Chain A
Amino acid sequence: MDYENSDREDRTILPTALKILIAGGFGVGKTTLVAAVSETQPLRTEEVLSERGVGVDDLTGVEAKSTTTVAMDFGRITFGEDLVLYLFGTPGQDRFWFLWDELALGALGAVVLADTRRLADCFPSIDYFESQGLPFIVAVNCFDGARQYSLEEVQMALNLDPDVPVMLCDARKRESSKDVLITLLQHVMKGRGLTRKPETVGS
């Protein structure tokens, strides 16, 4: 493919890139929520990890080591020319903490999607974000036929700090998923200025 014009003037308008993590247990609707608000179908990116879990693989001794490919789905929302928001679904396997660290680095905050039929599935996400000092909210995805619990019951069952917003959502619906992101952003804004733990990377 040939381009005649070799000027690169357009690189002066580099947008501000931001990201939000969408976490929660397997099958809770992370990719569904990403798809509901993103401007395109969610994209998939992968990282190849060694079973030692020491981050990026080293070629040394590669024959003896098994590797695992971890997939992450993400979406993009562009706001005008100067703002891009990326939504990253966290890998379902909670043992890949290295990847969580990589995703969480520089994130604005996180949405923990919960299914009241399998509430314990979101414990690892909540523990992780609490330990990292990353602001998060809990959004209870309302599955058809699932027994409805009150938000207070969910808050108590998850042993959440009372400041952490808990809300209902329908991850399939664009409006509902937008509300989730807005609630998170408002929560993050409210917490700004408060001292945050320094970023700690590593398992």
Chain B
Amino acid sequence: MTRPDAEPLWVDDEAGPVVRPYAMTRGRARPRNGFNVISLVTAARATPPLDVGLVPEHARIIELCQRPLALAEVAAHLHLPLGTVRVLLDDLVARQLVYVSEPRPPATLPDDSVFEALIHGLREL
């Protein structure tokens, strides 16, 4: 669990807040994907495979995403920055261990039914 508030206490140049995520992603800082923060991540299988190429965080994502979770939710539950989770998702998508579904751009919604459903749903809350 990262504690961003505490990290400025680390004065060593190389011990900044980026070290742990970078180690986890083996130095890859830039994800290949540009998944939206509300892209839904769903595990493709019930258990993480025994794969030497995976780190515990990969397994955690598979466990978490047994039901669809937004990228931002995955990041929040893992206490990892969004960018780090995107890199981890690159690995999982490449191994076909998760599916990522990008949200539909609102401009392409065919009619107002989604808006009506949201308004109705909010009134019922």
Taking a contact as CB atoms closer than 8 A, the residue among A18, A182, A188 that contacts B103 in the complex is A18
Give the CA-CA distance A65 to B104 in the complex, in Å.
36
Give the CA-CA distance A181 to B99 in the complex, in Å.
30
Q: Which residues of B contact A3 (CB under 8 A)?
A: 46-47, 66
Give the CA-CA distance A45 to B70 in the complex, in Å.
11
Q: State which of A8-16, A141-149, A152-160 sits at the interface with chain B.
A: A8-16
Q: Which residues of A contact B22 (CB under 8 A)?
A: 59, 62
Q: Which residues of B contact A45 (CB under 8 A)?
A: 37, 72, 75-76, 81-82
By size class, the interface of chain B is 35 or more
Q: Which residues of B contact A192 (CB under 8 A)?
A: 112, 115
- Whether A83 contacts B114 in the complex (CB less than 8 A), given A2-B47, A48-B17, A69-B7, comes out as yes
Q: State which of A27-35, A74-82, A110-118, A163-171 sits at the interface with chain B.
A: A74-82
A88 within 8 A of B: yes
Q: List 15 A-B contacts (CB under 8 A).
A: A8-B45, A15-B40, A17-B39, A18-B38, A46-B4, A47-B81, A48-B21, A56-B31, A59-B22, A63-B14, A71-B4, A77-B125, A106-B106, A108-B115, A196-B107
